[in-house]
Structure 1
Amino acid sequence: MELTGSQIVIECLKEQGVDTVFGYPGGTILNIYDELYRHPEIHHILTSHEQGAAHAADGYARATGKTGVCMATSGPGATNLVTGIATAYMDSTPMVAITCNVGKALLGKDSFQEIDIAGVAMPITKYSVIVKDITVLADTLRRAFTIAKSGRPGPVLVDITKDVTAATYEYEPKTPEKIEPFTERITEEGLDHVVSLIQESKRPYIFVGGGSIISGASEEVRELAHRIQAPVCDTLMGKGAFPGTDELYTGMLGMHGTKTSNYGVTKCDLLIVLGARFSDRVTGNAAKFANNAKIVQIDVDAAEINKNVVVESSIIGDVKEVLKRLNARLEPMHHDEWIAEIEAMKEKFPLKHEEGLTGPFVIEEIYKATDGQAVITTDVGQHQMWAAQYYRYTSPRTLLTSGGLGTMGFGLGAAMGAKMGRPDKTVINIAGDGCFRMNMNELATLSRHNIPIIEVVVNNHVLGMVRQWQTLFYGKRYSNTVLQDQADFVKVAEALGVKGIRVTKKEEMGPAIREAIEGGKPALIDVWIDCDEKVFPMVPAGAPIEDVFDAEDLAKKEQEKD
């Protein structure tokens, strides 16, 4: 059948099973929006800003495992997607961004709202292309979805000239290509080598990253840990791949990881790394990372092997598929002495915080009120680290946060996407006041579409993490990090159609979060905490992870100076 380019776009989305799109219309993409009007089966969420649409598509993908879709018009509409696309790229999120450009005849003439968005997005996408010929439109869109989801997932951008959206061409429906796990490079020799390293180990440690969640390997990770009796730590992106309530779990590793995880990885003789890329925030001084251990790295992306840390052995392939084969080769093992040593560290170095209305206390109250079953999104900063430390994630795709790019303003859009993808779940975004200022306009999106998420603003009236660094390493010179102005977030929320609640006392937090959950409507909770609260434990930038310190260590150091 002969269809317009706009009709082909919509039919291709339907082919791929797309049920939700986030976006913002404009001149060059009007033909597609006009066709979208005729297809209520595709739910379109009109965001307040294109960046919010990109983050929402990202959050939808992270929460569901499906490919997120966002749309924008040419020029500034397209460039406003860039931060969201880069965020998805750094965290390996499958996303397809569809933009439209000026007509082919106007390209290269500095036409109104013309930009080479395919060129702009090239370094932050798996694939970026402009479609100037309707005969390749359908196949290009199909290829975009395949690329976004296959291997190591990531975002793809398809830019379409306006004349292509109006032209007509023969369209034939196609069943989407089935994407199989990547297993071509898994070898018997590689598996046997890893098995022998595990069998020889006396102090094994498992380190879980976001790749374990992407591959759906949670069950296999649990089986491996208990089969070989090894403690487990994780990255920020790996939260939920291994239950935070399991007795073998020791907490996050790295700059704000637990002392147990940092000391344990330093002492172990074998580190089994599952879908993690050795970020600098994890390794600290990479040259001194896990120097007592042989390192095994299992990852779908060959480019990550030996990139940041040199490893003893590696297997390139889908983590779930690799672990299935490894577990089948391994007999149950016991490392009672090693586990006892780890348990002693857990008892000696528990996560702890001061009394009162603190950031960690806020997270603990959210955990209690949700019974640990919510989908938590965050922005970036101190609140993000507290959410990673004090909320115990027991299943994958329940912490959605910007790990690689560290995007302030990510959380609210991501929460919208998560709720659209998982309407059965309570979805809570935890933000700092600095981050909230970057995306507070999306509260209007919540009220417009009645998306019942809860925005918790951990409000210390400063840029908390930057201030923490200024306190510890910059002589308390608080250059441009104080936000003591007249902004009233409760009034902002109410003005945009969202219920606002302020919390200034410890005993108010639990009732506030329960009220927001039971209300079933969009809500904001503005929680005031002290401006000098800090995230501990902490490793100084560039130091080895065993140099981790907490508030007590800092106090002792100050006493020694005196």
Structure 2
Amino acid sequence: MSNKTVAQQVVDALIDLGVKHVFGVPSGGWVDYMEAMRTTDGIDFVLATHEGGAGFMADVYGRITGVPGVCFGTFGPGATNLATGVGSAYLDRSPMIALTDEMASDKRNRIVQMNIDHQALFAPITKKTTRLEADKVREIIFDAAQVALSDVPGPVHVGLPAGMSSQVTTVQDIAPYAIKSQPKADKELIKQMQTLFADAKKPVIALGMRAVTSGIQDQILKFAEKYKVPVVLNPMAKGMIPEDHPCYAGVLFHALSDVVGQTHQQADLVVSIGYDEIEFNYEDWIPNVPVVSIDIVATDLDTAEYTLACDVLGDIKFSVEQLVKADFAEKSWDLPAVAIRKADMFAQMTSQNGAFGPCAALDILREKLPDDGIMTCDVGAHIHLIGQKWPTPKPGLQIMTNGWSAMGFAIPSAITAKITNPDTSVCAVVGDGGFLMTAGELAVAVREKLKIVFVLFTDNDLALIRIKQEKKRNPIYGTPIRERGTIGGDNIFGVPVIKAFEPAEFDAALEQAFAADGPVIVEAILNSREYDDLVLRKDKP
């Protein structure tokens, strides 16, 4: 047993969890925690420009490492800013420990500058919210990690009462808590699942984000191949099946999803695996056929209109193994027809007549980024194109937000991707609208000497909203970023900017950027009209 300050105990507990980086914007109350990190090997504080950016960084840290991402914001505005990134972890299902200052108990319910109820603020966007106690530091931090990592991952908020950090208390003699394992699904549900698949002639498999983290990729590929079953993906499951695989049918919800729908609308059974409705509601795409769901949480489906034939709740890998080891007859899908539709879909997402639009830009970028490189992307029209078009060799090589869908995500997420994968090529694709929201985080990339290529799609247009305005025959209003021109300047916060107005310039700019020793912005000046015929298509009639 030993005595240490509360701040040192928090840092020691984070190290025991495997945390190597903490992201945030400091306050006076955070100084003791920063000093503990400075004097402790194995953990670093990364100063963000804005607490929202710090939250995004911690979100992606949790996704990539499987260790809770940790972020910090101070009282009031620091906490409300941080909440944007915490919400991202909540709806994109990333393990996180979000730390904030809180008033000491004698001031918590008083009228005090910057004082709001942080417990109430974070309750709707976390799995749990609590506050630190001086004699229970390791217990509270380890409990936060266990909650963040167990079941459906997500954030836990821990308030740090002012004045507690320098208190010296006895260190609890406890280790990190085990992550709760999932029980196996009921045998009767397994039999029912097998029977439904056996009886189906044209089942379709739908993969979601929890399929990615369940270690079932090889089993699913072999299973789909054996029975010739088409596979569709939710966007955050990209990489689970190669785009050139004969069973790959496309991504739901994103560009040309009506073409993907030509396949899944023929199905007589939907088998969803690790499917999280936060990305795309079932009702918006499934045909009116029975649904078999293999997951760890109950399926959210309007059963007044649709049939939830079997909700196989339990360890996903175990349930999939029970499906795979059973013996079925080959299904009656016409996979050559699926291949023709897929080829037509990808053909529609190629550059037309040598024009320099987002399709050409993505094709050129894909050629320059190594196969094992990581691309992060922002929210906007381009995410719909990337979700469908971008070849993703394996999960985790394309990082997006789809559950939370906050603009401003790409730049902070690329910073974390590079910090956690220093020897891997990393790029971010961001529209000019999202770029303006978190451009300040470029200063982090400069300070940390991160070799990242930030690809800026400049079209001076909030294209998704503009397209929706035009579909309603409304005038274009409130969506132009600026009248015309580029983002401005040849250097932003110390990051050089290379501009490209046509494909050859873009190709050369990327070559130069990927060879540079630090962060570079490649600004592609594009015409957003290319999106108009590709995005916001209905997944079913």
Output the TM-score relative to the length of structure 2.
0.93
Q: Is the 8 A contact 1:207 1:234 kept in 2?
A: yes
SS at match of 1:389: helix
In structure 2, C-alpha distance between the alignment counterparts of 1:267 and 1:485, rounded to whole Å: 46
Q: Is the 8 A contact 1:278 1:309 kept in 2?
A: no
Q: Which residue of 2 aligns with 1:81?
A: 82
Q: Which residue of 2 aligns with 1:312?
A: 309
Q: Does 1:521 align with 2:518?
A: yes
| More displaced 10-residue stretch of structure 1: 341-350 or 258-267 | 341-350
Q: Does 1:120 align with 2:121?
A: yes
Query: Aligned in 2, Cα 1:521/1:119: closer, same or farther, shift over 3 Å?
Result: same
Question: How many residue pairs are counted as aligned between the two chains?
Answer: 536
Please show how residues 41-80 of structure 1 align to structure 2 within 5 Å. 41-80=42-81
Please show how residues 145-164 of structure 1 align to structure 2 within 5 Å. 145-164=145-164
In structure 1, C-alpha distance between the alignment counterparts of 2:35 and 2:143, rounded to whole Å: 24
Deviations 1:527-549 (A, max 9, x none): 11114232544455xx6x233xx
In structure 2, C-alpha distance between the alignment counterparts of 1:440 and 1:83, rounded to whole Å: 16
In structure 2, C-alpha distance between the alignment counterparts of 1:411 and 1:484, rounded to whole Å: 21
Deviations 1:311-338 (A, max 9, x none): 211111232232123222x236433653
Q: Which residue of 1 aligns with 2:201?
A: 202
Cα distance, 1:64 vs structure 2? 2.7
Q: Which residue of 1 aligns with 2:243?
A: 244
In structure 2, C-alpha distance between the alignment counterparts of 1:168 and 1:448, rounded to whole Å: 34
| More displaced 10-residue stretch of structure 1: 319-328 or 172-181 | 172-181
Q: Which residue of 2 aligns with 1:546?
A: 540
Q: Which residue of 1 aligns with 2:441?
A: 442
Query: Aligned in 2, Cα 1:199/1:107: closer, same or farther, shift over 3 Å?
Result: same
SS at match of 2:334: helix
Q: Which residue of 2 aligns with 1:409?
A: 408
Task: Write the letter of the residue equivalent to 1:506.
Answer: P
Task: Write the letter of the residue equivalent to 2:540.
Answer: E
Cα distance, 1:294 vs structure 2? 2.1
Q: Is the 8 A contact 1:254 1:282 kept in 2?
A: no
In structure 2, C-alpha distance between the alignment counterparts of 1:306 and 1:175, rounded to whole Å: 43
Q: Does 1:510 align with 2:511?
A: no
Cα distance, 1:429 vs structure 2? 1.0
Cα distance, 1:432 vs structure 2? 0.6
Q: Which residue of 2 aligns with 1:431?
A: 430
Q: Is the 8 A contact 1:233 1:251 kept in 2?
A: yes
Task: Write the letter of the residue equivalent to 1:146.
Answer: Q
Deviations 1:63-99 (A, max 9, x none): 2333211122222112111011111111111111111
Q: Is the 8 A contact 1:253 1:282 kept in 2?
A: no
In structure 2, C-alpha distance between the alignment counterparts of 1:284 and 1:516, rounded to whole Å: 44
Structure 2 unaligned spans of 5+: none
Cα distance, 1:259 vs structure 2? 3.8
Query: Aligned in 2, Cα 1:183/1:351: closer, same or farther, shift over 3 Å?
Result: farther
Q: Is the 8 A contact 1:5 1:137 kept in 2?
A: yes
Query: Aligned in 2, Cα 1:264/1:13: closer, same or farther, shift over 3 Å?
Result: same
Deviations 1:204-234 (A, max 9, x none): 2111111111333322322332233211111
Q: Which residue of 2 aligns with 1:36?
A: 37
Q: Which residue of 1 aligns with 2:97?
A: 96
Please show how residues 153-302 of structure 1 align to structure 2 within 5 Å. 153-184=153-184, 186-254=185-253, 256-278=255-277, 281=280, 283=282, 285=284, 289-291=286-288, 293-302=289-298
Task: Write the letter of the residue equivalent to 1:77.
Answer: G
Cα distance, 1:281 vs structure 2? 4.5
In structure 1, C-alpha distance between the alignment counterparts of 2:57 and 2:34, rounded to whole Å: 18
Q: Is the 8 A contact 1:63 1:400 kept in 2?
A: no
Deviations 1:225-276 (A, max 9, x none): 2233211111111111222232211111235354442111111111111112
Q: Which residue of 2 aligns with 1:5?
A: 6
Cα distance, 1:514 vs structure 2? 2.3
Query: Aligned in 2, Cα 1:284/1:489: closer, same or farther, shift over 3 Å?
Result: farther
Q: Does 1:496 align with 2:493?
A: yes
Query: Aligned in 2, Cα 1:337/1:140: closer, same or farther, shift over 3 Å?
Result: closer
In structure 2, C-alpha distance between the alignment counterparts of 1:538 and 1:282, rounded to whole Å: 18
SS at match of 1:82: helix
**Percent of residue pairs identical:** 24
In structure 2, C-alpha distance between the alignment counterparts of 1:516 and 1:71, rounded to whole Å: 32
In structure 2, C-alpha distance between the alignment counterparts of 1:310 and 1:350, rounded to whole Å: 33
Cα distance, 1:108 vs structure 2? 1.4
Task: Write the letter of the residue equivalent to 2:502.
Answer: K
Q: Is the 8 A contact 1:29 1:74 kept in 2?
A: no
In structure 2, C-alpha distance between the alignment counterparts of 1:87 and 1:345, rounded to whole Å: 34
Match of 2:479 among 471, 478, 481: 481
In structure 1, C-alpha distance between the alignment counterparts of 2:504 and 2:332, rounded to whole Å: 42
In structure 2, C-alpha distance between the alignment counterparts of 1:439 and 1:315, rounded to whole Å: 41
Q: Is the 8 A contact 2:208 2:236 kept in 1?
A: yes
Q: Is the 8 A contact 1:266 1:546 kept in 2?
A: yes
Q: Is the 8 A contact 2:68 2:95 kept in 1?
A: yes
In structure 1, C-alpha distance between the alignment counterparts of 2:55 and 2:278, rounded to whole Å: 24
| More displaced 10-residue stretch of structure 1: 10-19 or 367-376 | 367-376
Q: Is the 8 A contact 1:121 1:157 kept in 2?
A: yes
Deviations 1:329-363 (A, max 9, x none): x2364336532332343345444143311111111
Q: Is the 8 A contact 1:255 1:284 kept in 2?
A: no
Q: Which residue of 2 aligns with 1:388?
A: 387
Deviations 1:264-303 (A, max 9, x none): 11111111111123458454646xx311x32111121226
Task: Write the letter of the residue equivalent to 1:533.
Answer: E
In structure 1, C-alpha distance between the alignment counterparts of 2:84 and 2:432, rounded to whole Å: 20
Query: Aligned in 2, Cα 1:485/1:444: closer, same or farther, shift over 3 Å?
Result: farther
| More displaced 10-residue stretch of structure 1: 265-274 or 349-358 | 349-358
Cα distance, 1:180 vs structure 2? 4.7
Q: Is the 8 A contact 2:138 2:174 kept in 1?
A: no
Cα distance, 1:463 vs structure 2? 0.7
In structure 2, C-alpha distance between the alignment counterparts of 1:546 and 1:305, rounded to whole Å: 17
Q: Which residue of 2 aligns with 1:138?
A: 138
SS at match of 1:240: coil
In structure 1, C-alpha distance between the alignment counterparts of 2:7 and 2:482, rounded to whole Å: 49
Query: Aligned in 2, Cα 1:532/1:86: closer, same or farther, shift over 3 Å?
Result: same
Q: Is the 8 A contact 2:229 2:333 kept in 1?
A: no
In structure 2, C-alpha distance between the alignment counterparts of 1:38 and 1:142, rounded to whole Å: 22
| More displaced 10-residue stretch of structure 1: 459-468 or 339-348 | 339-348
In structure 2, C-alpha distance between the alignment counterparts of 1:462 and 1:345, rounded to whole Å: 31
Cα distance, 1:306 vs structure 2? 5.8
Query: Aligned in 2, Cα 1:531/1:389: closer, same or farther, shift over 3 Å?
Result: same
In structure 2, C-alpha distance between the alignment counterparts of 1:225 and 1:251, rounded to whole Å: 14
Q: Is the 8 A contact 1:21 1:44 kept in 2?
A: yes
**RMSD after superposition:** 2.2
In structure 1, C-alpha distance between the alignment counterparts of 2:211 and 2:127, rounded to whole Å: 20
Task: Write the letter of the residue equivalent to 2:145.
Answer: F
Q: Which residue of 2 aligns with 1:558?
A: none
Task: Write the letter of the residue equivalent to 1:267.
Answer: Q
| More displaced 10-residue stretch of structure 1: 387-396 or 301-310 | 301-310
Task: Write the letter of the residue equivalent to 1:295.
Answer: V
Task: Write the letter of the residue equivalent to 2:275.
Answer: A
Structure 1 unaligned spans of 5+: 548-562
Q: Is the 8 A contact 1:88 1:94 kept in 2?
A: yes
Q: Is the 8 A contact 1:64 1:422 kept in 2?
A: no
